[in-house]
Structure 1
Amino acid sequence: MDRLAVMRTTPTAPRREPTRDELIFLQQWLREPTRIGAVAPSSPRLAAAITVAIPADGAPVVVELGPGTGAFTGEIQRRLGGRGRHIAVEINPGFARHLRSRFPTLDVAEADAEHLPATLAARGLTTADVVVSSLPWASFGPALQRRLTDAVTTTLSPDSVFATFAYLHAQHLPQARRFRTLLGERFAEVTVGHTVWCNLPPAYVLQARRPRRP
C-alpha cells in the first residue's frame, strides 16, 4: 500500500466542540479578565477535591464564592443531596443568569463576596459550615485579599472549613505567596492538597480551619 493510501485510510480523532459553559466562561473572561482568573471552567477532578469537606450527613450551610458557570456547583449539589443550604455568591451578572438557568433551585446571590456577612444575614444566617471559593486570589491586590478573607472568617465558626484552590504555575507569584501568608494569619490550620493535573491549568486545593476573626 502506498503512502497516499495510508494517509487516506488513517482515521483522525474527532474534533471536540467547546461546551456552552466553556463558551460562556471565555466570553465573561474577555469582558473582565482581572475578575475572572481562568479562561476555562475547573475540571470534575478539581471539583471533587475541593468539596470533600462537605459533611456527609446533617444539614450544612455551604457557601460558594465566585461559582462562575457552576463547575463546583453541581458537585456541591450532588454531595448535599437536597440537605442543608447552598448559597452561590456571584458578582458577574452573566454568570448569575447562567447559574439560575442551569440550577433552578439554587439560591444565587448576585453580590460581592466582600459583603458575605450581609448576604447571609439577609437569609437569616450568621455562619456557614463550609465556604468553597473559586475567587482568583492571585489576581487581587493586598487590600482586597484582606477584605475578602475578613469577610470569610467573619462568617465561619471554629468547626467550619474554608476551601479554595490555586494554580500550580502561579504559586511563586508575589500575590499568591501573600495570600498563603494571609491564610496562615487568619487560620490556625492550613493544609495543601495534591496537585490536580487533570485541570486547565493544573491546580491544588487549600483547606483552612479554625479561623481567627479580624
Structure 2
Amino acid sequence: MSFLLEFLRAPMTVGAVTPSSPALARAATAVVPRTGSPVVVELGPGTGAFTGAVQRRLAGHGRHIAVEINPRFARRLATLHPAVDIVTADAADLAAVLAQHGLSQADVVVSGLPWAAFTENRQRDVLSAVAAALPPHGVFTTFAYVHARWAPPARGLLRSLRSRFDEVVISRTVWANLPPALVYYCRRPH
C-alpha cells in the first residue's frame, strides 16, 4: 500500500503503482557478482524489490549503495536493509554520492528508475552520470515495460543507452511482473 500511496504523491518520481516482482528483480540483478568485493549502486530502490536481490547475490561481500530520492522510501529501506548504505539523493548526482563513500566508480549499477516519467534532459543527465561512474568492465541494468517499449520515451531511452554503451542486450520478457517487463544489460560504457 505504501508504494501506491507514494505513486499518488509523486508519480513522476515513483513511476509505477506496484513494486517490481521477484522475477524482475532476479533478472535485473543477475549481473551482480557473487564473488569478490564489487561495488554495487542501486538507483531508485523504492521499497526494495531489487535491494533484497542484490543483498542475496552479494551474500555479505562487497558494498551496496542505494540512491533513493524519496525520503520516506529511504527511511523504510534503511530499517529493512541495515547492511546497505542508503543515500537520499538524486541519481544524477551519482559522482558526488560515490565520492562521499570514498569511491570513484561502481562495478555494477542497477536501476529501478521510472525512465518513461523523465524528460529527455533528465534521462540524459542520469545516464551520463551512470556511464561516467562505471569502469570499462562495469555493467548497468535497467528495465522497461513491454507495453510501453514502442512509446517515444522508451525508444529514446534505448537510443540513449546505445549511444553510451558498446553493448546493450535486451532480455526475454519477464512475464511474472505487473506489467510484463524486459531488462537492458549495458556493458562497456563510452
| Match 1:95 to one of 73, 97, 103 | 73
Give matches, 1:149-164, under 5 Å: 149-164=127-142
User: Counterpart in 1 of 2:19?
Assistant: 41
**Match for 1:79: what amino acid?**
R
Give the number of aligned pairs.
190
User: Counterpart in 1 of 2:5?
Assistant: 27
**Match for 1:178: what amino acid?**
G
> Does 2:168 match 1:183?
no
> Does 2:117 match 1:143?
no
**Match for 1:31: what amino acid?**
R
Structure 2: runs of 5 or more not aligned: none
The answer to whether the 8 Å contact 2:139/2:187 transfers is: yes
- Structure 1 distance, partners of 2:29, 2:12, is 25
Instruction: Kindly name which structure, 1 or 2, has the bigger radius of gyration based on alpha carbons.
Output: 1
User: Counterpart in 2 of 1:19?
Assistant: none
> Does 2:82 match 1:104?
yes
User: Counterpart in 2 of 1:9?
Assistant: none
String of CA shifts for 1:44-94, please: whole Å, max 9, x gaps: 000110111011210000000000000010010001000000000000011
* Greater relative contact order structure (CA < 8 Å, 6+ sep): 2
Identity of aligned residues (%): 57
Equivalent position SS for 2:89: coil
TM-score scaled by length of structure 2: 0.99
Bigger mean CA offset, 103-112 vs 128-137: 103-112
Runs (4+) off by over 3 Å: none
User: Counterpart in 1 of 2:94?
Assistant: 116
- Structure 2 distance, partners of 1:101, 1:91, is 16
Structure 1: runs of 5 or more not aligned: 1-22
Let me know the Cα RMSD of the aligned residues.
0.6
TM-score scaled by length of structure 1: 0.88
Q: How big is the shift at 1:104? A: 1.8
